[in-house]
Chain A
């Protein structure tokens, strides 16, 4: 049996004295494509931040490839929510994608030979090579998301953690992004995605983790058809059944 890529045991974490998640047990194997679903404030982003090492858990144990998250940072790539990024900076798309490997370069060192070609290839994976010389100030919401995903791919990580990558993205781009993530999982990368789009989860993902300040259910995506699971996940904010998968991708 291979070692889990991500392993959480009884994890609790939060901000300013408030716990956002409690009692989280989660195991993700290499090559799995996992969706985190839940209402706003259900702890999806908190869970991703704990895994990537941006937030220390108050209780419990977090292991990434068997060690501390900080020790595995170079093996992970994290795509934050768009609003945390200053899109008014005068940067080209290429320079943003090249940031994906800054953590490994060391101070005073510029891009290595081949990095620019790799950046172009990463942009190509998300159909955004034509944006390479474009200023980020001129990008649409969907283009921004593609650029951030290209940056994450350029880092060539073993684990991809994405926080609502489909926010502000048109359905075509979302389909395309999810397709890329499925490809990455097919190549053995572990992919964990926080999302609100249940239809997309049903269409593209193998496994779903339902969150409501902790994990209320997890398993095959078919559990999203279970009323009890949806009630436990969303409470009074249960999503409309029409948003579910079959209709969406008909």
Chain B
């Protein structure tokens, strides 16, 4: 049995555990809607769209999360706007915007002639390198995302479940859709430090998808998603500490393992019931 206390003697591990749990909770809350509305591809796209923002922030010597947040939120809103105005399918718009913006990030990245270690962290995640300032920024952003989401929870549920009925009841459906995209963008931006651009969609989708396998009500789905997100964050950090593996990737692997276990157990239970 590994010593669970020993890693806690290191401040960087404490920060990593708090940071990973924080973004896990935010991503689980937002991820419930990402999964139910089939927005996983959008989530992946927004994460990649955040990358040029992170690179520009690096070049401008400002906080990478702020740069990523601006790019992610702007990208999410741009996809929604172009999707509504162009008449093209949303996945097509996402494909165009996502690849174009990520290409911009790659070109900007390649033009930097100085040390780019922090940017590699943004691509692949570096939760063990999270600073106190980054943690406070992530905590503030997380508090805003969660507070706003719960304030408009019933409205977002209504416009997601029955957009036509919600519009007929007088709810501004487009505004609530845009607000959800902003929340997704912010959740992604603060998660990039933990798991990186490439894997951030897993934090949004996997715990919520695992929860969907078990839950019959939205409240239960949220509770399960939070549980799986926190387990993934804590177990992932501890496992990466003892196995000396990349923390972001390990967190995602734990989340994926939980999904597989729940899916297999559910399938076996259904076979037995049939």
Contacts and interface: CB of A to CB of B under 8 A. Distances in A.
A236 interface: no
Nearest to B221: A90
A112 interface: no
* Interface hub of A76, A108, A151 (most chain B Cβ within 10 A): A108
A103 B212 contact: no
A53 B158 CA distance: 18
A90 B160 contact: no
B4 interface: no
Contact of B168 (A73, A85, A89, A90): A73
Given A80-B168, A89-B36, A90-B212, A99 B162 contact: yes
B152 interface: yes
Interface residues of B, number: 28
A85 B151 contact: no
A86 interface: yes
A113 interface: no
Interface in B152-175: 152, 154-155, 157-158, 160-171
Contact of A103 (B36, B164, B169, B217): B169
Interface string A41-83: 0000000000011100000000000000010011011111000
Interface residues of A, number: 36
Nearest to B36: A89
Most buried by B among A76, A102, A137, A148: A102
A102 B162 CA distance: 13
B169 A73 contact: yes
11 contacts: A74-B170, A77-B169, A78-B165, A78-B168, A80-B168, A89-B157, A90-B36, A99-B158, A99-B161, A102-B158, A105-B154
